[in-house]
Amino acid sequence: MQTTKTIIRSPQTGDAYTHIKHKSGLDILVYEMEGFCNTYAMFGTKYGSINTMFKTDADTDFCTVPEGIAHFLEHKLFENEDCDVFDLYAKTGANANAFTSFDKTCYFFSCSDHFTESLEILLSFVQSPYFTPESVAKEQGIIGQEIRMCDDDPGWRVFFNMLGGLYQKHPVRIDIAGTVESIAEITDDLLYRCYRTFYNLHNMVLAVAGNCTVEQVLEVADRLLKPCADQKLQTVFPEESLDIVRAETTEKAAVGQTMFHIGIKCAPKTGYENLKAEMESHVAMQILVGSSSPLYQELLHEGLINAQFSSEIFNGDGFFTVIIGGESHDPHAVRDRVLDAIVRAQKEGLDRELFEEYQKSIYGSLIRETNNVSAVTNALVNSHMAGYGIFDTMKVLSEMTLEDCCRFLKEEVNVTRTTLSVIEPAV
C-alpha cells in the first residue's frame, strides 16, 4: 500500500487540509494554519465505552467484554515499562492528556515548540502497550474511586438517570468508566485483546492542526507507524426499540437547587444523514428554547428557570437524544411547557426570524472555530470518525432551510418518548 495525499477544501471559506492515507493503514489529517505559533495533535481510536461487543475476521463469534474497559485501557497506556509518559512530555514542554467518551478514545498534546519530539512521544506510547496483573489490580482501585466520585456528582447522576430512563439495552446508558463490579472483571489479557482489536491503525486517525507542515508529520509517521492488516472490525449493539424505559426518575443529593434533564429519544442515524439531523434539531431547539425564544423569556420571567437552562443534541452510534436541562423549583412545569411548545411548533411551524438569527449565529461560531487549533483538531477527529468531512457542518448549515427544521421536528421528535430526570436537594 502506498501513501496518498488529498487536499480537502471548503467551498464556503476556501480553507483546506490534507487527508493522508498512510501506507501503514492510518488516516492522517493535517490542517496547516499559517501565522499560528502553537500546534495541537490528536491520535484517536474509534473505541469508546459503548463498544463492548465486537469481532474481527479472526474471531468465530462476537466477544463481549466488561463495561468500562475502553476507559481503563486509556489510563493504562500512559504507563510503559520504563516510565510515565507525562515525564517524557515534561522534557518537550508539551501539555498532554487523553479522554474516553462513549464512542472514541483520544490522546493529545499542544505545544509551541518541539513539535516533532512531542509527536514522536504520542505515536510511540500509543503503539506500545504494557499491562501486568499487578498494574491492572492497582488501577482497579484507582478507577473504582473515580467511579464512586462520579456517583456522588449530581450533574453526572442527572444525566445518566436520563439515559437510563430512555435506553433499555444500548450501552450508552452505562457510565463511561463502567461500574466497580464490571472493572473488577478486567484482566491484562483482556486489555491486550481489546488493544489489538481497536488500536489497529485502520480503526484510528491522527489529526494535527496549527504551526506544522504535512512534511513534518509524514516524516515522523513514516518512521514510527507500525503497518498492520485490516482486521475488518465489526461492532454491534443489543437491539434497541424507540420505546423508553420510564417517564421519570427522581433522586436526592446535596444540591442547592433542583436540577433536571428532559430527554427525548429519537431514531439514530449515521454519517452525513446524522450530521444533517443533528444540525436541524439543534437549530429547531434553539428556536424553541434558546435564550432569544419567547418560551425562554417567559420561563425566566416567571422564575421557573435561570441562566443554566439550555438544550443540546446528544447523538452517536445507535443513539440520538434531544436534551433540555437546567435548574428549577418546578421541573415538571418546565417539562410540560417545553413539550407543549414542541407540539405547537409541529402544527404551526417555527419562527422564521429566529431561524435566520440562529443560522447566522451558529455559522459565525463555526467560522470563529477555524481560528482555534484545538477546536479544529477535535472537529477533524470527530467528523472523520462520524463518517463525514470537517467542512460538511458548514455546508449543511448554509444549505439548511426553515422547512428542514420543521420537517425534523414533525417527523423525528415524538413527545411521548420523553423522560424527566430530577435531582432534588436532600433535606
Distance CA 291, CA 293 (A): 6
φ, ψ of residue 235 in degrees (nearest 5)? -120, 145
Ordered DSSP codes for 77-140: HTB-SSSBHHHHHHHHT-EEEEEE-SS-EEEEEEESS-HHHHHHHHHHHHT-----HHHHHHHH
CA distance 231 to 277: 31
Straight-line distance from the first to the last Cα atom of the chain, in angstroms, rounded to the nearest whole number? 65
* Rounded (5°) CA angle 230-231-233: 115
CB 350 within 8 A of CB 402: yes
Continuous segment of H or E residues that includes residue 223: helix 214-224
- Give the 3-state secondary structure of residue 2: coil
Q: How many helices (H) and strands (E) does the chain have?
A: 15, 15
Identify the three-state secondary structure at position 322. Answer: strand
- Owner of C-alpha cell 427544521: 405
- From 67, 74, 280, 327, active-site residue: 74
For the question of residue 239 being annotated catalytic, the response is: no
Q: Which of 292, 291, 289, 300 has its CA nearest to residue 342?
A: 289
Length reported for the chain: 427
Are 182 and 67 in contact, with CB atoms under 8 Å apart? yes
- Which residue spans within 119-246 are E strands per DSSP? 204-210, 234-235
Active site residues: 74
